[in-house]
Structure 1
Amino acid sequence: MSQLLHDLSWVLPLRNELLTPIMQGFTWLGYDRFILLFLPLGYWAWNKPLFLRLFILVAVTALLNAFLKDLWQDPRPDIGLRMDHEVGESFGAPSGHAQIAVVLWLWLACESRRLWSWLGCSLIVLGIIFSRLYLGAHDLEDVLLGAALGGVTLLLFALVRHRAWWREANLAWHLLLVVGVAVAAQLGWPGTAPHYVPLLAGMLVGVLSGYRLEVRTLDFQVPARVWRRALVALLGCAAFLLFQALLKRLETALGLEPLLWQSLRGVLMGWFIALLMPWLLVRGRLLLAGRAPA
C-alpha cells in the first residue's frame, strides 16, 4: 500500500507533448498568482458575498496547508521526475494545489447548485489534482491528504457560516480573531513561518474592514448585463496588475522589515479589492450603487 501511495512510475508513460501543456495549465490554476487575481475579479464582476466567503475559505485553508507542510516535513517525489520547478524546496504533504482546489471550486459549485457547475468545477479539481501527479510535484499520498483536508474545511465552514455568533459578531471580533490566529501561527510555526502568513492575515483584515465600510457607503451591486461584467473584469484585471506594480515600488521606497511590510501589503491589497476598486467602478458607472456614493 505504501509503495502505491509514493510510486510515480506509472505517470511516466502518460507524458507526451500534447498532454504536458494541458497539465501545466491545470496546475497554474492552483498557484497564488492565479488565485489572487481570480478572487477579486469574481468579487467585482460575479458575486460579492460569495467571493467574500471564498476569500476567508482560501486564506484559512492556505494557512493550514502551509503549517502542516512544515510540521510533517514530508519530502516531495524525486526531483528527477519533476516537471514543475516552482515548488522550490517546500515539502510535499499535504498538497496545497489539491486542498485549495477542493475548497475553491467545490464551494463555487455548492453555492451555484447547478449540475453544469458541479460537473465543470469537479473536472477542474480532478485536472488540478492529476496535474500535480503528472508533473511529479506530488505523490498520491500528498494529493489525497490535501483533498481530504479541503473537504473537511468545507464541511466546517458550512456549519459555522450559519451560526448566529459568527454572522452577527461585531467586525472587531472578526478582525481580532484574524490577528490572533496570525500571531499564534507566527510564534508557534515549526521553523520559520513563510512570508504569506502576515500577508494573508493583512489581506483578510483589509477585505473584511473594507467590505463593511463599502456596504455602509456604496453597497455595490454587480450588473446583470454580461458585457458590463466582462468590462468590469477586464478593467479590474488591468488595475490589479498595476496596483501590484505600485506596491513593489512602495516596498522599495519604504524599506520596512519583511514581517511588517507583508502585513501592510496585505491590508492595502484588501482595501483595494473591497473598497477602492468598487468605488472607482461605481464612479465609472460600471457597478451599480445600492446607496448614494459619498
Structure 2
Amino acid sequence: MNVDLLDDLHLAELAPIIWLQSWPGVVRPVLELVSVLGTDTFFLLCLPLLYWCVNPALALRLGFTVLAAAATNAIGKLAAHQPRPYWIDPRIHAFSAEGAFGLPSGHAQIGTAGLGRLAAAVARPWAWWTAGVIVALVCLSRVYLGVHFISDVVAGVLLGLAVLVLVRRLERPATAWWRGRPLWVQLAASAVLSGALVGCAALANAPYAGWVVPPGWSFAGAIDPESLDAVVSMAGVLLGTLAGASIMYRLGWFDAGGSLGARAGRWVIGTVVAVLIWYAEREVLPQGAAGTYVGYAVLTLWVQVGAPVLFIRLGLMTRRGKQTQDAGRGRAGSGH
C-alpha cells in the first residue's frame, strides 16, 4: 500500500476514533487495563511463573511465540514508518503516549499470537472464544486510547495469526533439528539468530536514511520512532531463551510440580533475584545497546537455567526424571 493511500485511509479513520473517545470517561480505566493484556511485557512477566511452577514446555512455546510476534512487529513498524492518530490530529486525545511507529499494532499482534497459543494449548472451543474476545477488546482499547488507527489493529491481528500459524507448523521440525545439534552449535546459532534480529531491524530502517519527523506530526511530542532499543532488548531475550533452553535440555530439565508452598517459594525467590539482577545491570553495565543486550540476555538466562538449578539445590524442585526413578524404586521395594 503506497504512502498516499495510507494517508487518505488515516484521515478517514480519524472520525471513528473521535467518536470512541466521546464515550463516558468510566470506560477509560477499563480499556487501559485491557490494553495491558496485549503487551509483550505482560507475557514476559507471566512466563517465569508458568515456566517455574506450572509447565516449562508450554512456557517455552508461548515465549517463542510472543518473541516472534514482538520481533516481527518491531521490524514491521520500522518498515512502514507510519504515524499514530494523536501524532497528526490535535482532536485525538493521547491517553497513552507511545514513541514507536504505529503500523502494525503491537498489542493486537502480540495479543493474537500469545493468547492464540494459549488457546491452542487448551484446545477447547471456549478457550478460542475467550482469546478472540480479549483480542477484540485489546484492539478496541488501542483505538480508544488514541494510539492506533483501525487499520493498525487489523494489520496487527492478521500478522499475529500468521505468526501463530507459522510457529505451530514449524516448532516440531525446528525443535527436532535443534536438539540434534551439538551444544556448541546451538549456542553459536543462538548468537547468530539474535544478531540477525538486530540486522533485520537495521535493514528495515535503511531505506529511510536521513528521515526526520514530518512537520505534519507536530503533535507527536518528543519521539524517537527509529530507535532500535526495543529490538536490542528482544535480541538479548532471544539469545538467553535459546541458549538457556539448550543448556537446560542438556541438564535434563526439571519437574515444575510440587506443593503449593514449594511453587510459591520458587516464584518469590526467582522473582526477587530477577529484580536484583535487573537493578544491578543498570548500575554496573554501561548504558547503550551493548549493555542492554547483555543485561536482557543475563536476565533471561537466570530465568531459564539459573533459577531452576538453584531451586533443585534448595530442594524446592526435582529433576524431571527423579520422581520417576523414586517411584520405580518404591514399586521394586514393595515387591520384596
Using structure 2 for the length normalisation, give the TM-score: 0.75
1:209 aligns with 2:209: no
Q: CA deviation at 1:218?
A: 4.6
User: Aligned partners of 1:150, 1:32: CA distance in 2, in Å?
Assistant: 13
Contact conserved, 1:37 with 1:237, CA < 8 A, in 2? no
Look up the match of 1:277. 307
Structure 2 CA distance for aligned equivalents of residues 241 and 37 of structure 1: 13
Unaligned runs of 5+ in 2: 1-7, 210-225, 323-336
Residue equivalent to 1:67: 75
2:59 to 37, 43, 51: 51
Matches within 5 A, 1:117-132: 117-132=127-142
Cα shift at 1:29: 2.1
Q: State the alpha-carbon separation in 2 of the partners of residues 111 and 160 from structure 1.
A: 16
1:262 equivalent in structure 2: 292
SS of equivalent residue, structure 1 residue 15: coil
| Distance change in 2, residues 1:114/1:108 (3 Å) | same
Question: Residue 68 of structure 2: SS of its match in structure 1?
Answer: helix
**Cα distance change of structure 1 residues 178 and 168 upon mapping to structure 2, 3 Å threshold:** same
Within 1, Cα distance between the matches of 2:130 and 2:204?
Answer: 37
Aligned to 2:106: 96
CA contact (8 A) 2:229 2:289 kept: yes
Question: Which of 5, 13, 25 is the matching residue for 2:22?
Answer: 13
C-alpha distance in 2 between matches for 1:283 and 1:120: 39
Unaligned ranges ≥5, structure 1 = none
Larger Rg: 2
Paired residues of 2:39 and 2:110 also in contact (CA < 8 A): no
For 1:282, give the aligned amino acid.
I
Question: Is contact 1:203-1:267 (8 Å) kept?
Answer: yes
Q: CA deviation at 1:104?
A: 0.5
CA distance, structure 2, for counterparts of residue 228 and residue 168 of structure 1: 38
CA distance in 2, matches of 1:4, 1:183: 35
Given candidates 270, 275, 278, the residue that maps to 1:247 is 278
**Partners of 1:70 and 1:9 in 2: how far apart?**
26
CA deviations on 1:144-176 (whole Å, 9 max, x unpaired) are 01111111111111221232x552232246415
- Partner SS, residue 10 of structure 1: helix
SS of 1:69's partner is helix
Match of 1:36 in 2: 44
Equivalent position of 1:231 in the other structure = 264
Q: Partners of 2:287 and 2:142 in 1: how far apart? A: 34
Residue 288 of structure 2 aligns with an amino acid whose one-letter code is P
1:42 is displaced (CA, Å) by 1.5
Residue 328 (structure 2) aligns with: none
Describe the SS at the equivalent of 1:161. Answer: helix
The verdict on how the C-alpha distance between 1:288 and 1:129 changes in structure 2, with shifts beyond 3 A counting, is farther
Deviations 1:228-253 (A, max 9, x none): 58625xx5266435523433333322
Identity between Structure 1 and Structure 2 (%)? 25
How much does 1:102 deviate? 0.3
Deviations 1:64-108 (Å, cap 9, x if unpaired)? 111221221211112542343331x32211000000000100111
Query: Letter of the aligned partner of 2:106 in structure 1?
Result: G
> Which region of structure 1 is more displaced relative to structure 2, 260-269 or 214-223?
214-223
- Size of the aligned set, in residue pairs, is 286
User: Which residue is 2:5 aligned to?
Assistant: none
Aligned partners of 1:187, 1:158: CA distance in 2, in Å?
Answer: 27
Using the alignment, how far apart are the partners of 1:24 and 1:107 within structure 2?
23
Is the CA contact 2:52–2:256 (under 8 Å) kept in the aligned structure 1?
Answer: yes
CA pair 210-112 structure 1, distance change in 2 beyond 3 A: same
Q: Is residue 46–residue 229 contact of structure 1 (8 Å, CA) maintained in 2?
A: no
Q: Which residue of 2 aligns with 1:179?
A: 194
What amino acid is the match of 1:75? P
Q: 1:241 to 1:20 in 2, by over 3 A?
A: farther
Q: Could you tell me how far apart the structure 1 residues matched to 2:255 and 2:191 are?
A: 28
- The answer to whether residue 198 in structure 2 is matched with residue 168 in structure 1 is no
Answer with 41-50 or 185-194: which moved more: 185-194
SS of the residue corresponding to residue 22 of structure 2 reads helix
Superposition RMSD in Å: 2.7
- The one-character-per-residue Cα deviations of 1:185-241 (angstroms, maximum 9, x if unpaired) are 25424164421222212222212222222233251122165x358625xx5266435
How much does 1:117 deviate?
2.2
1:135 match:
145
2:113 is the counterpart of 1:82: no
